[in-house]
Amino acid sequence: MAMRRYRNEHDRSVFSRRSLVLFGAQGALATALGARMYQLQIIEGEKYAARADRARIRPSLLAPVRGQIISRDGKPLAVNRHNYKVVLYREETEDIEGTLDQLSALIPLPPLRRKALAEEIRRTRAFLPVVIAENLKWDEFAEVNANAPALAGISPELGLTRHYPEADFTGHLVGYVASASERDVERAGKDGSLLKLPGMRIGKSGVERVEEIALRGKAGLSRVEKDAHGRPMQELERREGTPGEDLTLTVDMDLQKYAMQRMGEESGAVVVMDIYDGDVLAMASTPGFDPNGFVLGLSQKDWLSLRDNEKKPLNNKAVSGLYPPGSTFKMVVAMAALEAGLIGPGHSVYCGGHIELGSHRFHCWKRGGHGTVNLHEGIKQSCDVYFYDIAKRLGIDRLAETARKFGVGVLPEIGLVDAKAGTMPDTAWKRAYKNEAWYPGETLHAGIGQGYVTGSPLQLAVMTARIANGGFEVHPRLVRARNGDRVKTRSLRGTGIDKAHVEAVKRAMYGVVNESGGTARRSRIAMPGYEMAGKTGTAQVRRITTAERAAGVFKNEDLPWERRDHALFVAFAPADDPRYAISVIVEHGGGGSKVAAPIARDVLLKLQFPKEIPEGAIPQGAAPVFTVEKEDEEDGSEDA
């Protein structure tokens, strides 16, 4: 009995101690919880309230309106047009595939597009909209609007898209915009979020790419209140972005279009520039391409037709095409020899049709030779032997030094990312790039613009401009004004070439076109005060063998297109008071005097007589000036 009483008292004691410990732990827990609630609600309440507010109010970027691009004569080159599009807000639909099936009954959604959409939806964050289709026709857009209440998550919206009114006339020059790649987003840094916005486009080529930052503008901001599921309820604040700059290019659209049309089906380029301020008045590369296709989305068939075309329509040949300058380079060779004091204007050389160097024979283009010629006649008749001789006296290093002063082998400061520097070789260049010594025969090849010497049509225009302006270092430019404010031109500085030497070369270029025996006399401008001075060039793309020379050199027209010579011509006008320089290259066109010179003549006539070329502008018997029929102007009522 006593034992039982002891055990009961012991159990009560243990129970009491355990209850006390339990109550103590509960009290401590309650105290800690209260302290934590006090910290969260009182001490840190404002911080967490702000976090909750940010979760409820979601800021989003607003894409700015892209700046427009116009020509110097006021023609729109890149504008913004209304874009009828359909957007999916996937948080508002539980069956995305079902919604797309319904939508495909109203507008075209090909299988490839559906596949691309599936990948885009997978990569896009849930709260961001996805563009399902854009650039819809009005009747398609209206049909989606009428059925929108039955299409969960689908919203028909009106936006802006890029449009290029001049299409393939300016494709290479203006370029095009397209969606940003992941690499573009990474390189954009803090602007990367803007580039991810649905429908956002950035410049991919031409001026659109070079001036991307200026044209893009700055993003705006919208603060939208959303419910617990992330659905927008109301817009609390909206700050529109800063529109991009409007750019006026130096290009004259009428001249640009004429140059493109004058080239016709040929592959090549025409560049026209002002010899004093460097304004590029025309930069035509043919064949052209329509940049609108890249904005709207090219089909695989269209892409392959552009990519695989042997005339490379996607290449801007005016700045990235590199060609041997041929005889158009002879003026630089002449000035280099004059500057070095090796020759004077009266220096003469006998041309019997070839010159020998060791066991090698270097031929003149005229099989029987030109006889005795001086500098003036050497340029006028384009005697190869004359320039072989002075190049051998000069050496490649001194020739290269003068050539670079005229822009040969120097990257033009025009900003286009696809512009190339070409090559003006010297002994150091060959050691660096070929790990070989320079050979004397290579100097002779360089003396007639062949061998390693290459340049773009833009570089040849710069070379000609610096000759025409008396030896001043003019640089090409494409942007004439920003938001209406004129862009200042660079101050001209001299190349250091003796003006008398430049004038001697200019007189010889006048003889090329206007004197008897000149290689381009048939393409002269007969209007007094408007004549042009120039130089023909024919650049070989194949080696003429000894056997072929003995049997008779094949004519260009008897060869496959890709083995024919390139035709070149450079000129300035008016000859007595120069203002404009031009370069023309026709790939595999044959002779420069026959093919390239008439194109330059017509473009310079169009430039000097923009309204109507007067009768008597060309001599009797010459090929008529190319004319084009006027087209009806496109209605720009949808431009925004």
Q: What's the rounded mean pLDDT across residues 235-260?
A: 90
Cα 80 to chain centroid distance, Å, stands at 19
Which pLDDT does position 131 carry in this prediction? 82
Q: What's the rounded mean pLDDT across residues 3-26?
A: 62
Q: What's the rounded mean pLDDT across residues 293-312?
A: 85
CATH number for the domain whose boundaries are 55-75+165-249: 3.90.1310.10
> pLDDT tens for residues 513-570?
999 999 999 999 999 999 999 999 998 875 655 555 555 556 666 677 677 899 999 9
Indicate whether 450 pLDDT > 80: yes
pTM flag (> 0.75): yes
> CA–CA separation, 254 vs 282, rounded Å?
9
Q: Which residue has the higher pLDDT, 134 or 509?
A: 509
| Bridge partner list, 108 | none
Tokens matching residue 88: 């999916």
Q: What's the rounded mean pLDDT across residues 428-455?
A: 96
> CA–CA separation, 123 vs 549, rounded Å?
65
Amino acid at 31: T
Catalytic, 327? Answer: yes
With a CB cutoff of 8 Å and minimum separation 6, the contacts of 22 are none
Q: Please pick, among 267, 327, 523, 593, the residue that the annotation labels catalytic.
A: 327
Q: How confident is the model at residue 9 (pLDDT cuts 50, 70, 90)?
A: low
CATH class of 253-305+315-608: alpha beta
Which pLDDT does position 161 carry in this prediction? 86
> pLDDT tens for residues 76-106?
999 998 888 888 877 777 778 887 888 888 8
From 227-231, 245-249, 260-264, 329-333, the region with the lowest mean pLDDT: 227-231
With a CB cutoff of 8 Å and minimum separation 6, the contacts of 266 are 286, 586, 587, 589, 595
* Nearest alpha-carbon partner for 214 in 66, 77, 70: 66
Q: How confident is the model at residue 180 (pLDDT cuts 50, 70, 90)?
A: confident
Q: Give the E-state strand segments of 69-165 in sequence order.
A: 69-70, 76-88, 130-133, 154-163
What's the burial of 415, exposed, middle or buried (CB within 10 Å: 0-12/13-18/19+)? middle
Most confident of 140-154, 222-236, 298-312, 444-458: 444-458
> CA–CA separation, 106 vs 457, rounded Å?
50
Q: What's the rounded mean pLDDT across residues 37-66?
A: 64
